Amino acid sequence: MISPVAWRTPPRAYGAWETVASNITEELVRRGWDVTLFATKDSITRARLHGVVERGYEEDPGADPKVCEYLHLSEAFEHAAEFDLIHSHYDFMALTYSRLVTIPVVTTIHGFSSPKIFPVYRKYNGHVHYVSISDADRAPDLDYIATVYNGIDTSLYTFQAQPGEHLVFLGRIHPDKGTHLACETARRGGRRLIIAGIIQDKAYFEEKVKPYIDGEDIQFIGPVDIEEKNRLFEQASALLHLNELPERFGLVLVEANAAGVPVIAMDRGSCREVIKESETGFLVDSLDEAVEALDHIQEIDRFRCRRRVEEHFSVRSMVDGYEEVYRRILNHSTGL
């Protein structure tokens, strides 16, 4: 299992890809698979940990990201002969090693950061087994072996049967995620908003988000860990996810629903696959619709939110999907 090395696996706070890689690894070990996790040396796992990078480069000011990445990837593929299969969560860079080894490689495509990386995926199409994290996030000219939705450890999220009073935005502060739209929705709806997450685009934060922040009606608290997320969800009447671009999956949508918190999301990308309209939240097409949806949040059954996550977006359901992928690949490679 190849995890990214931007952050520790599992991450202390932000780190969606590391979270997914960790969840798959730990459940596979629980089910009896022999797994080696390639991640940072400070990662925590019940699998065999193999690391050459001391700490995530986002957590180490002295680290060079490219040096960390290629030391990490080369180490994993140089040990390929020890394994039956490699499962990579490392975007397009790991693909460039795939023809240098003889074992099958599975790549979970967590999203396309730019059209500029498509040529790499096209080059290895048909050689590497691609898994999408939502049907919406599939490239039309790539072949996929399956769609496997991301899953979370639901035991980490405390169910909140009673709604709180505030709105919550949780995620990276970036134009794609529409943080400013969450602020405007809260302002127009007369609701308090708590914003949590890393600032990924400083100029956007300063120009579009910071002017809303007054420390009272709209508050920014920075990145949060699981314990702090649970405290946020305890205070939340709803999560706002007014994404400007099509969502790839939206792990935070599942995390909120696991705590019983309804979601108001833009109907773009995978949001329609994750949020069940009028049952676990509302899908909207505009700021006006988002403001209007605030008046209907109390109609959402919080128990149903939790139940849908347990049925479709749990670690168990995710690993069921990946086990089927592995079996198909390994049976084919052995001629069974």
Give 107-137 pLDDT, tens digit per residue: 999 999 889 999 999 999 999 999 999 999 9
Task: Read off the CATH number of the domain in which 265 is found.
Answer: 3.40.50.2000
Q: Residue 255's pLDDT is what?
A: 97
Q: Residue 13's pLDDT is what?
A: 83
Whether 21 shows a pLDDT value over 50: the answer reads yes
- Distance from C-alpha of 66 to C-alpha of 306, rounded to nearest angstrom: 40
Q: What is the mean pLDDT of residues 282-310?
A: 98
Give a yes or no: residue 231 inside a domain: yes
Give a yes or no: residue 3 inside a domain: no
Give 221-257 pLDDT, tens digit per residue: 999 999 999 999 999 999 999 999 999 999 999 999 9
333: pLDDT confidence band, cut at 50, 70 and 90?
low
Q: Residue 48's pLDDT is what?
A: 98
If we measure between CA atoms, which residue out of 183, 173, 109 comes closest to residue 144? 109
Give a yes or no: residue 255 inside a domain: yes
Helix axes 251-258, 16-30, angle to 10 degrees: 60
Kindly list the strands in the beta sheet with 105-109, ordered across the sheet, starting from the edge strand earlier in the chain.
86-88, 105-109, 129-132, 144-147
The answer to whether residues 252 and 206 belong to one domain is yes
Whether 139 shows a pLDDT value over 80: the answer reads yes
- Distance from C-alpha of 317 to C-alpha of 150, rounded to nearest angstrom: 9
The pTM (predicted TM-score) of the whole model is: 0.92
The answer to whether residues 91 and 34 belong to one domain is yes
Query: Which residue range is the domain that position 327 belongs to?
Result: 16-151+314-333
Give a yes or no: residue 273 inside a domain: yes
Average pLDDT, the chain: 96
Q: What percent of the chain has pLDDT over 70?
A: 99
Q: Residue 14's pLDDT is what?
A: 84
Q: Residue 336's pLDDT is what?
A: 44
Give 166-212 pLDDT, tens digit per residue: 999 999 999 999 999 999 999 999 999 999 999 999 999 999 999 99
Instruction: Write the CB contacts of 53 (distance below 8 Å, at least 6 apart in sequence).
Output: 5, 40, 41, 63, 68, 71, 72
Give a yes or no: residue 4 inside a domain: no
Whether 7 shows a pLDDT value over 90: the answer reads yes
The answer to whether residues 280 and 144 belong to one domain is no
The answer to whether residues 300 and 266 belong to one domain is yes
Question: What's the domain count of the chain?
Answer: 2
The answer to whether residues 166 and 293 belong to one domain is yes
Q: What is the mean pLDDT of residues 62-76?
A: 97
The answer to whether residues 91 and 240 belong to one domain is no
The answer to whether residues 110 and 60 belong to one domain is yes
